[in-house]
Structure formats: C-alpha cells, structure tokens
C-alpha cells in the first residue's frame, strides 16, 4: 500500500494557507454581520421615526413610548469590546458604519430622530437663542457607553457654526431673552474672529437678526440699530417706559454686555442727550411722550435731565440748549412754553406770568431750567412793559368810570 509522503515544509505551507483562508473567511462573515446589523438598525430606527408624534420634543409625555424604543435601539447597537480577541468587535463596528455612503446616520436628539449631520453638540453659549436646530440629549457622568461615542468622522455630531446661527436668525424673529443671549454670545466671540473677516461676518449677522422693540411693538432688523443706552449715564434715571429713538436698542437688551466691547463688536455708539431730546420733539413721537403736548412727561424729562446734566460735557449741553431754544416744551401754569418765555415763581410779581410747574424741590432741576433759559427775575425792559400795561389799564378804567359818572349826572 502506497503512503503519500509530504515534506514538513510543504505541510507548514498548507496549514498556513488554510489558516489564512479561515481568517479571511471569518472576517468576511463578521463584515456581513456588521452589514446585517446596520440593516436592522436602519429598519428599527426608521419605524420609530415614522411613528414619532409630529412636532413632539423627546422629553414630552406624548413621545415617551417612542423615546424608550429609540433608547433601546441605540443601546442594543452599541459595540462593546470583545474578548478574548478585540478585533472581532472592531470589524463588526467598522462594517456597521462603513457599509453605507450616506452622509446621515439616524440618532435620537432632543427633537426626536434626526440625522447626525443636522444635530449639534449641546452648548450653553448657544442654547439661549438656538431653538430650532436639534442637539444631542444630555448625558451624566457614569452613563454606560453610547452609540454616539463610537460614531466615525463621517457621522460625527458637530459643534455649532456661524452658518447655523445665521440660518436660525433668518428663519424667525427672536424673543427678547433670545436676543439678549445672541448679543452676549457675539460680544464675547467677536475678538476671536479673524480681523479680515470681522466686518463681513458682523454685517451678515446684523442683517439676519430681527427683534420686536418699542411700545407698541415694532419689528426691527438689528442692522437698523446704531445706538445703545450707556448705563453709566442714564441709569437708574431712564426707565423702560421712556421713549427712545428708533435706532436705539432698549437697555434691557444690553444690560449684561461689556460696555467697552459693545461699540467695537456691534459698531454702536452711545445714545446722547441730544439724540434723546431730538426724538422727543420729532414728528414720529407718540402723544404720550410728546413733550410739546404732554406737560406731565415734559416734567419727567426735566427730572431725568436734572440727574444727568452735571455729568454731560459742556459742548453737549450747548448743543441741547440750541436744539430746544425755540421748542415750547417747558410746562407752566399757562401751558407749554419756550424756556425763554417761562419764569420761576419768584418772578411772578404781578401774578400773570407763565410759571414753571416742575418739582423745584430738586435743586438740579432748577439748574437745568436756568441753563435752558427759564427766568428767575423780570429784567428792566419787561418790568417797564408790565408797568406801562398796568398804568394804561388803570387809565382806561378810570376814564371809563369818569365817563359813566358824567352820563349819570347829565341824566340828573
């Protein structure tokens, strides 16, 4: 009987070939396993997506059932390290993610099931004003490994970008607290932008952002704002109910901003007292704040001016005085008058002068009235005219009385 003789070296080659063949075969089987796992995941998560309550957030009661199913699916398809050979798990995971050329991988976000390309990492700087873009659900220290942790680069959940912010702003009008958050974020990051790009980026942001301001509310693009209220000058004297020029943003929006960074980041200047007074006498001012018609508000304006007047530079005071010289805005007991036509009470020796009605218990208000031209005493010419008028009236009365007496005697 013939016996097949095999040399030892040939036997080694055969064994190695068989082993390599088995290794390749096993890796291909593992790849198929990863591929099948992806099919099952896509099918399961797709069903959850289709049955998710329309418009429901992940934390809402109506989405509780869908949330549990999605959480289970994502936990079930999280690849843990394999033993004794860690390569097994790695092959399955690579096949699971690499078997598709799609740029979107479905996961659960705070807005339900979304593709990773449309989801962003949570960031407290953006959360006050970024409301439409889905974000990852929060995690806690000690949570088990998640499918999110093993996402490859092509499916990575990215951080917010400037384009995301612009898209959000173009889609809706921000509420007051949202605009506060946007301004705070922008003032903080402005200096981090390349200097050559700052102007273009700032312009795009300002044109996209819109808010409602004023009373009644009106929609305004942030690009139409050019001034802000400087707290070092106007607070606490100016209130939210006081009228502001249409190009000035209310202080409630800028209260928490860095006063030094704001002009550079937003290209805004401080609202001056001249800007404010000019608005109060403009044609577009409402009747409630029209100091040429509303004596109560005119006196309030004087009270505000009294508190800030001493801090103003002399050239601004002069400009304000020139602006108001011919404006009848000083409230008196005879209606609203120009400052040059109004008097303090001590000047009213004949009881017929327009006397100011502002609260003069505040010395600073008296000072403002004086600097705008309100008179404390009658000058000689005015006193002479008053005397002439008085004696002329006395003569007319006496003459009329004398004529009446002569007529009576004639009848007798």
Q: Is 196 helix (H, G, I), strand (E, B) or coil?
A: helix
Based on the number of CB atoms within 10 Å of its own CB, is 50 exposed (0-12), middle (13-18) or buried (19 or more)? exposed
Q: Is the dihedral of CA 334, 338, 344, 350 positive or negative?
A: negative
Rg value, the chain, Cα: 40
Average pLDDT score over the chain: 86
**Vertex 172 angle, CA 170 and 174, to 5°:** 110
| Cα–Cα dist 268/262, whole Å | 7
pLDDT at 350: 83
Residue 257 inside a domain? The answer is: yes
Question: Do 185 and 152 share a domain, yes or no?
Answer: no
Q: Name the token pair of 52.
A: 């998710």
Question: Do 131 and 192 share a domain, yes or no?
Answer: no
Residue-wise pLDDT tens digits, 89-148? 888 899 899 988 888 899 999 999 999 999 999 999 999 999 999 999 988 776 778 899
Region of poorest pLDDT, from 26-30, 94-98, 114-118, 278-282: 26-30
Question: Do 56 and 78 share a domain, yes or no?
Answer: yes
Cβ atoms < 10 Å from Cβ of 171 = 11
Q: Phi, psi (5° rounding) for residue 76? A: -65, -35
Question: Do 137 and 203 share a domain, yes or no?
Answer: no
Question: Do 59 and 139 share a domain, yes or no?
Answer: yes
Residue 214 pLDDT more than 60?
A: yes
What is the number of H-type helices and E-type strands within the chain? 14, 9
Residue 359 inside a domain? The answer is: no
Residue 83 inside a domain? The answer is: yes
Residue 241 inside a domain? The answer is: yes
CB 270 within 8 A of CB 227: yes
The residue among 251, 271, 291 that closes a domain is 271
Residue 194 pLDDT more than 50?
A: yes
Residue 332 inside a domain? The answer is: no
Partners of 213 in beta bridges: 218
What is the β-pairing status of strands 227-228 and 248-249? Answer: parallel
Q: How confident is the model at residue 79 (pLDDT cuts 50, 70, 90)?
A: confident
Residue-wise pLDDT tens digits, 351-400? 889 999 998 888 899 999 999 999 998 875 655 565 555 455 444 444 55
| Cα–Cα dist 214/24, whole Å | 73
Question: Do 139 and 104 share a domain, yes or no?
Answer: yes
| Cα–Cα dist 255/229, whole Å | 9
Q: Could you list the residue range(s) of the whole structural domain that residue 94 is in? A: 35-159
Residue 334 inside a domain? The answer is: no
| Cα–Cα dist 147/105, whole Å | 11
Residue 123's region, left for phi above 0, alpha for psi from -120 to 50, else beta, is: beta
Helix (H) or strand (E) holding 165: helix 162-171
The residue among 271, 289, 318 that closes a domain is 271
Question: Do 73 and 178 share a domain, yes or no?
Answer: no
Q: Phi, psi (5° rounding) for residue 83? A: -130, 150
Cβ atoms < 10 Å from Cβ of 406 = 9
Partners of 218 in beta bridges: 213
The residue among 98, 125, 159 that closes a domain is 159
Q: What share of the chain is helix, strand, coil (3-state, %, to 5)?
A: 55, 10, 35
Question: Do 48 and 143 share a domain, yes or no?
Answer: yes
Please give the DSSP secondary-structure letter assigned to residue 343: B
Residue with tokens 């404006």: 327
Question: Do 66 and 150 share a domain, yes or no?
Answer: yes
**Would you give the distance in Å from CA 124 to the centre of its chain?**
15
Question: Do 129 and 224 share a domain, yes or no?
Answer: no
CB 88 within 8 A of CB 27: no
Mean pLDDT of the region 243-257: 93
Residue 61 inside a domain? The answer is: yes
SS3 string of 138-151?
A: CCCCCCCCCHHHHC
Question: Do 149 and 51 share a domain, yes or no?
Answer: yes
Residue 364 inside a domain? The answer is: no
The pTM assigned to this predicted structure is 0.79
Mean pLDDT of the region 156-176: 95
Structural domains of the chain, count: 2
pLDDT at 393: 46
What is the β-pairing status of strands 210-213 and 112-115? Answer: unpaired
- Please name the residue ranges forming H helices in 190-284: 195-208, 231-234, 251-254, 262-266, 273-280
Residue 346 pLDDT more than 70?
A: yes
Question: Do 194 and 265 share a domain, yes or no?
Answer: yes
pLDDT at 104: 87
Residue-wise pLDDT tens digits, 317-339? 999 999 999 999 999 999 999 99
């Amino acid at each position: 009987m013939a016996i097949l003789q095999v040399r030892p070296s040939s036997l080694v080659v055969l064994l190695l070939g068989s082993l390599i063949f088995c290794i390749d075969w096993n890796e291909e089987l593992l790849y198929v396993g990863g591929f099948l796992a992806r099919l099952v995941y896509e099918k399961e998560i797709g069903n959850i997506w289709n049955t998710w309550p329309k418009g429901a957030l992940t934390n809402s009661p109506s989405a509780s059932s869908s949330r549990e199913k999605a959480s289970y699916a994502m936990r079930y398809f999280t690849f843990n390290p394999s033993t004794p050979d860690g390569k097994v798990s790695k092959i399955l995971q690579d096949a699971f993610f690499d078997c598709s050329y799609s740029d979107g991988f479905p996961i659960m976000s705070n807005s339900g099931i979304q593709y990773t390309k449309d989801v962003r990492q949570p960031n407290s700087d953006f959360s006050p004003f970024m409301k439409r873009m889905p974000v990852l659900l929060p995690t806690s220290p000690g949570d088990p490994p998640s499918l999110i942790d093993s996402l490859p680069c092509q499916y990575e959940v990215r951080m917010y970008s400037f384009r995301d912010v612009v898209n959000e702003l173009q889609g809706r009008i921000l509420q007051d607290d949202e605009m506060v958050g946007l301004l705070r974020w922008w003032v903080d990051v402005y200096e981090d932008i390349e200097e050559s790009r700052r102007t273009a980026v700032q312009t795009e942001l300002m044109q996209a952002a819109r808010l409602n301001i004023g009373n009644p509310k009106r929609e305004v693009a942030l690009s139409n704002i050019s001034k802000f209220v400087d707290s070092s000058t106007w607070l606490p004297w100016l209130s939210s109910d006081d009228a502001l020029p249409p190009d000035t943003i209310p202080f409630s929006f800028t209260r928490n901003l860095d006063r030094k960074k704001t002009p550079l980041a937003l290209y805004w200047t401080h609202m001056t007292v001249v800007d404010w007074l000019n608005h109060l006498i403009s044609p577009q001012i409402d009747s409630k704040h029209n100091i040429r018609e509303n004596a109560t508000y005119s006196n309030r304006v004087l009270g505000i001016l009294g508190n800030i007047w001493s801090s103003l530079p002399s050239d601004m005071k002069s400009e304000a005085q020139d602006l108001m010289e011919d404006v009848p805005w000083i409230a008196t007991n005879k209606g609203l008058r120009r400052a040059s036509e109004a008097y303090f009470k001590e000047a009213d020796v004949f009881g017929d002068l327009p006397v100011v009605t502002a609260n003069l218990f505040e010395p600073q208000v008296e000072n403002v009235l004086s600097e705008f031209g309100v008179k404390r005493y009658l000058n000689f010419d005015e006193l002479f005219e008053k005397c002439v008028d008085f004696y002329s009236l006395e003569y007319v009365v006496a003459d009329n009385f004398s004529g009446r007496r002569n007529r009576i005697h004639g009848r007798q």
